[in-house]
């Protein structure tokens, strides 16, 4: 089995094509780009006939089997693009996939795209068959710490560059929304000349398109990035997020830091594991007590809850001075 991250796919495709590819992950933009890279490589290798299959309820999986078995009158190589929107092919689909992958056809290429599978999905026999027959491409989100670098790499592709403070500015404006980051970079290609970009040029061109999420706030809290935490909390309040959801994410993070629980948000778990001994036990106990006090507020959704979220972050970062 060959397992790649999306960033490793281009080098792999330059060496040749496997008979089967499965692309799954959390980030739609990067998953789409990975799948498009496989499609482009297939075209360059002479896979002229492409069949797109998007199974829905009642789909006849013999169509999938026939697409991979039949010989085209117009092309010697056939490319089947199977899009599993739910990530669950069902009993018939699983059997069809396993059957084909047991002996992939010559001059046939199968690309399967699907959302990230949980542990049970990745342990399924049909996904295992895909992995054994070809290449699994794992697509992970770009973490906030890596986002300025990612934006810089995208700018470099269009012969532009920006100093660190400008990259941070763009990252702040698009946090949690990689597609928006991609669109803003493309906009800069149209509105600004090649070469270095100044803060003035970028400020005029880049919109405020951040998409905040309670787990991003928890991630910033755990990372000790207080300015980012405060910005996300204010963003969540402005977007009308329910304080109960924010409290749930923050409480999960605090108990995980204290060693009492494991979180199932992958990025937040990574932040917890990377926090080390950033906070003392006394700091964590105080923060957990504050979260309990927020929960006790009548109707948690009051404005007072948002002020207490801000205070919690400041106290955790600076002790009892806040």
Question: Minimal CA–CA distance to 179: which of 141, 148, 220?
Answer: 141
d(CA 320, CA 322): 6
Which pLDDT tens digit goes with each residue over 292-304? 888 776 455 455 8
Query: Whole-prediction pTM value?
Result: 0.69
- As a whole-number percent, the residues of the chain with pLDDT over 90 amount to 51
Angle at 47 between CA 69 and CA 70, to 5 degrees: 15
Tokens in use for 39? 């499609």
Report residue 1's pLDDT band, with 50, 70 and 90 as the boundaries: low
Q: What is the pLDDT of residue 105?
A: 83
Q: What is the pLDDT of residue 207?
A: 72
Which pLDDT tens digit goes with each residue over 212-244? 889 899 999 998 889 889 989 988 888 888 888
Q: What is the pLDDT of residue 320?
A: 42
Q: 69: phi > 0 → left, psi -120 to 50 → alpha, else beta; which?
A: alpha
- Do 299 and 271 touch, CB atoms closer than 8 A? no
Q: Which residues contact 179 (CB under 8 A, 6 or more apart)?
A: 28, 29
Hey, which residues does 81 pair with through a beta bridge? Answer: 52, 111
DSSP assignment of 166-225 equals HHHHHHHHHTT-HHHHHHHHHHHHHHS-SEE--HHHHHHH--------HHHHHHHHHHT-
Pairing of strands 160-161, 195-196: parallel
Q: pLDDT: is 48 or 61 the higher one?
A: 61
């Amino acid at each position: 089995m060959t397992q790649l991250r999306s960033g490793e796919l281009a080098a792999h495709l330059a060496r040749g094509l496997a008979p089967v590819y499965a692309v799954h992950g959390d980030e739609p933009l990067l998953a789409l780009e990975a799948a498009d890279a496989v499609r482009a490589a297939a075209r360059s290798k002479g896979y002229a006939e492409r069949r797109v299959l998007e199974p829905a309820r009642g789909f006849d999986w013999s169509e999938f089997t026939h697409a991979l078995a039949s010989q085209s009158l117009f092309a010697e190589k056939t490319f089947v693009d199977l899009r599993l929107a739910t990530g669950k092919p069902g009993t018939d689909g699983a059997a069809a996939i396993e059957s084909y992958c047991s002996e992939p056809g010559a001059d046939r290429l199968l690309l399967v795209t699907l959302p990230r599978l949980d542990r049970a999905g990745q342990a399924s026999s049909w996904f295992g068959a895909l992995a054994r027959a070809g290449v699994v491409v794992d697509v992970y989100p770009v973490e906030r710490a890596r986002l300025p670098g990612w934006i810089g790499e995208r700018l470099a592709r269009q012969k532009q560059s920006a100093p660190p403070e400008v990259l941070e500015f763009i990252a702040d404006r698009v946090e949690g929304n990689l597609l928006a980051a991609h669109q803003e970079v493309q906009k800069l290609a149209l509105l600004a000349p090649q070469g270095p970009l100044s803060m003035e040029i970028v400020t005029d061109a880049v919109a405020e398109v951040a998409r905040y999420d309670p787990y991003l706030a928890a991630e910033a809290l755990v990372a000790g990035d207080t300015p980012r935490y405060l910005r996300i909390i204010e963003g969540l309040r402005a977007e009308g997020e329910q304080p109960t959801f924010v409290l749930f994410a923050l409480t999960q993070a605090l108990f995980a830091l204290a060693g009492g629980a494991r979180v199932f948000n992958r990025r937040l778990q990574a932040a917890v594991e990377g926090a080390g001994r950033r906070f003392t036990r006394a700091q964590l106990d105080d923060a957990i007590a504050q979260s309990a006090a927020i929960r006790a507020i009548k109707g948690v959704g009051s404005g007072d809850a948002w002020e207490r979220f801000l205070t919690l972050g400041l106290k955790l970062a600076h002790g009892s001075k806040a």
